[in-house]
Structure 1
Amino acid sequence: MMKEVRFVCRELDCGNPVAESGMPLLEDGKRRVILGGCYGNESSVRQCDIVRGGPGGCNGRTYHHVTCSESVRLVGGAGLCSGRVEVKSNQSWASVCEADFDRQDAEVVCGELGCGAPAALQGGLYGEGEGQTWDKEFQCKGKESLLLDCDTSDRENNTCLPGNAVGLTCSEPDDVRLVGGGSRCAGGVVWYDQGEWRTVGAEDWDVAAVVCRQLGCGSTVSVLLGDTTRAFRLSCYGSESSLRECSRSYDLSPGLTVICSESVRLVDGAGLCSGRVEVKSNQSWASVCEADFDRQDAEVVCGEFGCGAPAALQGGLYGEGEGQTWDKEFQCKGKESLLLDCDTSDRKHNTCLPGNAVGLTCSEPDDVRLMGGGSRCAGEVEWYDQGEWRTVGADDRDQRDVAAVVCRQLGCGSTVSVLPGNTTRGKNIICSGSEPSLRDCYRMYDLLPGLTVICSDLLVQPDIYLTDPMGGVSRGHQGPEMFRGYNFTITCSTQPQYPGGSFLLTFTGSNRTQPAVNHSAAFLFPAADDSHQGNYSCVYDNYVFSHNFSSESELLSLTITASPLPAFIIRHVVVLLILLTSITTIYLYYKPTRRQKRVNRVSSMDLYVNAMEMVSLSSRAEAGPGEERAAQGTE
């Protein structure tokens, strides 16, 4: 909301916001305007999203009371406490020359804007003003409440050279602290506002990120609910430099307990689990050289932030740091709780070349799941928070964005559909849809109906394998070799997620389809030839949740080769072996007498002829037409 308030002051030509607070909504019947969706580059509040409401607007509770500085402002800075100094002169704004402005003048401006002491004062620090230059020299004593209360004198120089428009950076005010956590970087959040310390309430990583940043305590490690239920509520985007830039209201919600990393942070990443690695050195932040940081060091950092295992580790992955470089080499074993618990050694290299500031991407923690849908990519959304699994709820307008984050975090593709869940007590989550995980979304204390999400990668990848005549099984892209003329079977199978469905076997030349029986299908090929050589894959199709889904197996690569011996030779060898075995058996079984020699000899000859005829018939039945003709020609 502070962005919108800043535009109100600009629209009224009243300088910077000095204070903004939520006030009870007056039941006077007047219509008010709710501002939202200002991004910082608009020239007027009219370019922001505007919703007009009555006494029931503004959530029916509060409206915002704004105080502007009126006569001085800081322009072009990163927040309310930095920018080019401009003062109001004849109803227009004029930049101030560096020669006409000193540290005592800066102390007055910082105090007038509610900021801390001056931290930087330099000409050209925040660019040049487009208008005129202030024609006086300030003579502040440093104790004045307003800059225009200071004495002035005529300028010694008539002109202000380019690059000399004075820029000012005030330190953030010491108006936030963490108490009860045993460290200045851990504890319940309290904020000094309107003369008293107030407990801050929010279930919000964005508020926690601002607190850790403002205190110089690195990145957020965890966010918990505090003991109190009467906390002053804040809402932040997460990019603010201090809590003063966040929206305040008089809603009461559970207090917020924050634990910051204190000594290490990830900067300029896409979420809480990625960024350039920086460690605290002499109260300032230093980037780490790639040569001084390995995977075991990365495991400690990822664990310290409550993230998953390291996924990417590379120099220059998230840009270069603007400050110094850490002058030690980390020697972590991978089991330490904190990076600064690791041993260090002197660096082997004296310099860190550009592009070598190490960037780290940790995998997202396993803190979200889909339950009751028969698949890890379908079901009611649950999120692990504060030691338990909680049902996630979302407003109608936020459901698709929340679902997109869930499918992305689980590696389940894109959202197919979002349905009402079974519970009416889901923890309210608000996402923009681009976050890498639910941890990066905004959480609210109120409860909403749960939601069931169905992602596109619903079906698990099916399996494919080949069975040869001897019962051997082959899998994988390298695949088997099959002799010409032999039969083989390719089987498609999948895990038992949903009943029914069908398998499409795709291979060079044609496709074949069979219904899934017991979650599998077998495709028989009677005799292998060159047309069967190539890549095969199984595509499993099923209609569930009123949508068609499919999933494809890996490739199986089949090579067709010639047999070591021609098939007809192998068959004749087999016939001869059968013949010899038969004769031997007959001889051993029958032991004829001398009287019966002739009769037995005739009987043996008949048996021999009968056996030969049987073998010949069997051989011709097994031989192909070409081989049969060849055999007849030989006869």
Structure 2
Amino acid sequence: RPRGFVAATGWAHSAKYGKGVGRIWLDNVNCAGGEKSIGDCKHRGWGNSDCSHEEDAGVICKDERIPGFKDSNVIETEQSHVEEVRLRPVVSGARRQLPVTEGIVEVRYKDGWAQICDEGWNSQNSRVVCGMMGFPAEKKVNRNFYKLFTERQQLNYRLHSVSCTGTEVHLSMCAFEFYRGNASAACGAGMPAVVSCVPGPLFATGSAHKKKQRQQQQSQPRIRLKGGAKVGEGRVEVLKSSEWGTICDDRWNLLSASVVCRELGFGSAKEALTGARMGQGTGPIHLNEVQCLGTEKSLWSCPFKNITQEDCKHTEDAAVRCNIPYMGYENLIRLAGGRTTFEGRVEVKRGSKWGTVCSDGWTTKEAMVACRQLGLGYSLHAVTVGAGGEAPGDTSASTGTGASLTAVGLYGGKGINGPSGPRRLLRFSSQIHNNGRADFRPKAGRHSWVWHECHRHYHSMDIFTHYDILTPNGTKVAEGHKASFCLEDTECEE
């Protein structure tokens, strides 16, 4: 109807009309049918979605226009929802430090940022904002300091009467009201909302925080994330009866996912993933139908059902993507000399100088850390022997990254022994689904393929995937790669 048609004759799913770009604004839309706009229908909140663009919805409108409707290309500029939120630090030292744990809460409005009136602001509201920023908890803030500071500032208030329960994953899911028109004289009795957050152990700074981090590392965790390409995402695994296992995705939602994220020292959950989106686990499936309220300190405090053999399979393993603090790590590393922005010689920044990394002990694991730091996900190859070109400058500038790049054995290679002995050809009894979106084909051109006498077809000897071999409890015992593009199981001597 907002597009001027009288009705719809059909709908489409799974991106039938092509995958969109940008954010997915709406999910779980439930209309009664009489609404004037799709934004008036029930939904999960603006920008709150666990979908991918492969699930973009489409409509087929009836070819009959509403009488008197005039088509217009003018898009309304009045913003009626909250999208981006940030913490603006004002303390002089905090402006240069990352992560930003304290500051004035601001929301994106038109081409700038606007403030929130803090009348009625409480710790539940702060908890939601901290969760969005990647922090597990909030703490009290020196309101008087900020009141003195903001009295001298030109402010532009956008929201007021914010009321969260504390379990929301985004401020847009809380109750609030917009200021309309000129809001310069608004919030007379209040001031801008200010929030202070407690960082998780992984992002803590200072000696007291570091001590707490060491203590947590020494204590045996009962929950972990596995299979994620980035920090703060992965398949959820729990320790029960001294054995790691997964969680079935029945009733898995953002409330339960957020409890997991906060327990691990991250913020609230961005996505609660189902259907083994972060890969299938191994070993037992410990929990089913986890139903957290969102206020629990640990997943183990949430109601759940113990699993039975016929309840679930590993194709239903639950996973999460958590909000994590912005640390600016991607500004300390770059790729140079590559054909695309996704490959090249690794260069790291130490102080104000850039330098290279010596390739002694450089393997796919170190490449994985570099790719993760760049925000590019998994690594495909760990290239050595100057493949990215010679680099000028002092290579010792890179030694400061050694703490995050640990030396491990190489994938493949002639005569290389893995952690458990010589390489062997393995046949797998289970089917592992490829959750990536890359084409499953070799990169090497046809001219470089090798004829195989026994198989009677050509092989591309290009490595195009890596895998880890795990024991049933998730311990890595070996690693390997798939090289020849061959889908035929022919009995050959080698």
Give the number of the structure whose residues are more often helix, by fraction: 1
| Alignment TM-score, normalising by the size of structure 2 | 0.28
The structure that is strand-richer by fraction is 1
Higher relative contact order (CA 8 A, sep 6+): 2
